[in-house]
Structure 1
């Protein structure tokens, strides 16, 4: 009969890989004793009461017993949530100002104002002074008297934002000599502008010779050296005349395409007159630049609202259809 194991001995599983181990009895005398926590960790996989590794068992909890005998690694500590420290008012405002996106500045819209003013001295300066005080740059300003002797009409075109335009309009209406201020910004208009431009017919290489400056001699010498104007000086009179009339013919055709006309012709330049919309005049000026523009003058934009088209025949036709579509119940047969 096998004697029961003593309390101070340890059962070692087979095959005999581990020797009989006692936490304190078998340590060398020269080494210090292990701490209790380390000794418990080393002996965690050794059981004094359970079956050995090779002992057969039919227990349903064999897997649990096996997993309990295995040494377990300690889990890493979970990340602790550290609440943010309370912010001061200065830090909160600074954060808001830093994260606030910049406002999107859109393009300034084009506005058209029509002022009906008293025909007296000083009105133009007072109206333009109000717009200049608000920082508006006037693109076009046209003033002229009307068929009424004491009434003048003023058309002002400038760029700005809606709220500022409304404030400027009300301030203009508060002036004593101003009868009314009409905002034609969102109205269908007929806009016309007059252009008179003086263009060279000698070609762009002679443009600096025709411009009156105090450095004419210096510019002419530089152009002769750099661009070889000696070739043009050696041109025969017939070739020079043909060259000039070729430019004149090109300018005449270009003016005809834009419904303009030549109002003055000289030996080296012409004056072209054109009345059209502002954007059409801009395109015409761009096409004239290669020929050499000597002078240009624009009258400014004159604007007048379009009148609605009334179709009197359409109203009569609708009434006729309305009469025919109705059915008189009294004229229906019985039943």
Structure 2
């Protein structure tokens, strides 16, 4: 009887131990599950999600082969702009110092028109002297004919001097004020015809109606692009409205032409361009060079003053 009691107590203890072990295992698994669901360690993540390695760069990409002579010549020819086919007359720049009195401009332009010259640009302005004005004229023609016209203009009574800056190093500047649309090129025609607010032009001209927010994003995107382009040419936006912007630019005539070509896709509403102003560069004299010449001249020895033998 005692034996049966001992065996029953032992069996009950074993059952309790197994139950406790099962409970502990279930708790451990639940803890692992909670940890894996709540946070994943970096090592386990890397093991379960292997990193896909990118293919190695080829040697042709890292060490490209030198182009052949044919490829290099083709690239140079592609990047070289084509030259003018026709004969282009040389551009001449006249700097006329004239008396500040009425009728001088008409007399000078009359002489040039009588010889068949088409004046590219003409700028007249006062100088720091009260009775003197500066007249900058740009025209094209043959050197012989240009020289005859220069002498004939210089023979006029109110003209003090006529200088030809052709072939000299001069500083050239020209001023541009250009009004550009910020609504887009498809709205320029309607914008020129009627100066209505920009939102009405967009909603009337486009097939799909734009919301005010989309129209605002579009105008600001165009304005930002236009401002960045003006900054590249060292220009600035001097006026902004709801449908256009005015850009001021002072540069060489070639850069002015390039800027106009670049902003043409935006839509040019109006452009005002001054004539070219020119001034020769000042020469630079080296004072040390003059001192060396003086020293060399003083160190020369006269052979007649030396003793005989």
Smaller-chain TM-score bracket: 0.5 to 0.7
* Structure 2 equivalent of residue 93 of structure 1: none
CA drift of 1:315 comes to 3.7
| CA distance in structure 1 between the aligned counterparts of 2:130 and 2:301, rounded to whole angstroms | 60
For residues 107-256 of structure 1, the aligned pairs below 5 Å read 107-212=88-193, 229-231=206-208, 234-256=209-231
CA drift of 1:325 comes to 8.9
Q: How many residues align?
A: 212
| CA distance in structure 2 between the aligned counterparts of 1:183 and 1:276, rounded to whole angstroms | 21
* Structure 2 equivalent of residue 49 of structure 1: none
CA drift of 1:144 comes to 0.5
1:225-250 alpha-carbon deviations (Å, 9 max, x no partner): xxxx211xx11111110010000000
Q: Give unpaired runs (5+ residues) of structure 1.
A: 1-104, 214-219, 330-335
What is the TM-score of this pair, normalised by structure 2? 0.64
* Structure 1 equivalent of residue 257 of structure 2: 282
CA drift of 1:175 comes to 1.0
| CA distance in structure 2 between the aligned counterparts of 1:195 and 1:265, rounded to whole angstroms | 16
Secondary structure at the aligned position of 2:113 is classed as helix
CA drift of 1:186 comes to 1.6
2:274 is equivalent to residue 293 of structure 1? no
Which one has a bigger Cα radius of gyration?
Answer: 1
Secondary structure at the aligned position of 1:259 is classed as coil
Secondary structure at the aligned position of 1:230 is classed as coil
C-alpha change, 1:235 and 1:170, in structure 2 (3 Å) is same
What is the TM-score of this pair, normalised by structure 1? 0.59
* Structure 2 equivalent of residue 45 of structure 1: none
CA drift of 1:212 comes to 2.8
| CA distance in structure 2 between the aligned counterparts of 1:212 and 1:123, rounded to whole angstroms | 40
| CA distance in structure 1 between the aligned counterparts of 2:137 and 2:234, rounded to whole angstroms | 26
CA drift of 1:313 comes to 3.0
CA RMSD in angstroms comes to 2.5
CA drift of 1:106 comes to 4.0
* Structure 1 equivalent of residue 70 of structure 2: none
| CA distance in structure 1 between the aligned counterparts of 2:285 and 2:241, rounded to whole angstroms | 50
Q: Give unpaired runs (5+ residues) of structure 2.
A: 1-85, 195-200, 304-309
Structure whose residues are more often helix by fraction? 2
1:39-94 alpha-carbon deviations (Å, 9 max, x no partner): xxxxxxxxxxxxxxxxxxxxxxxxxxxxxxxxxxxxxxxxxxxxxxxxxxxxxxxx
| CA distance in structure 1 between the aligned counterparts of 2:140 and 2:273, rounded to whole angstroms | 19
| CA distance in structure 1 between the aligned counterparts of 2:131 and 2:299, rounded to whole angstroms | 56
| CA distance in structure 1 between the aligned counterparts of 2:122 and 2:258, rounded to whole angstroms | 21
Segment of structure 1 superposing worse, 255-264 or 304-313:
304-313
* Structure 2 equivalent of residue 258 of structure 1: 233
* Structure 2 equivalent of residue 302 of structure 1: 277
1:299-327 alpha-carbon deviations (Å, 9 max, x no partner): 1100111111112234445666x499989
* Structure 1 equivalent of residue 61 of structure 2: none
CA drift of 1:285 comes to 0.5
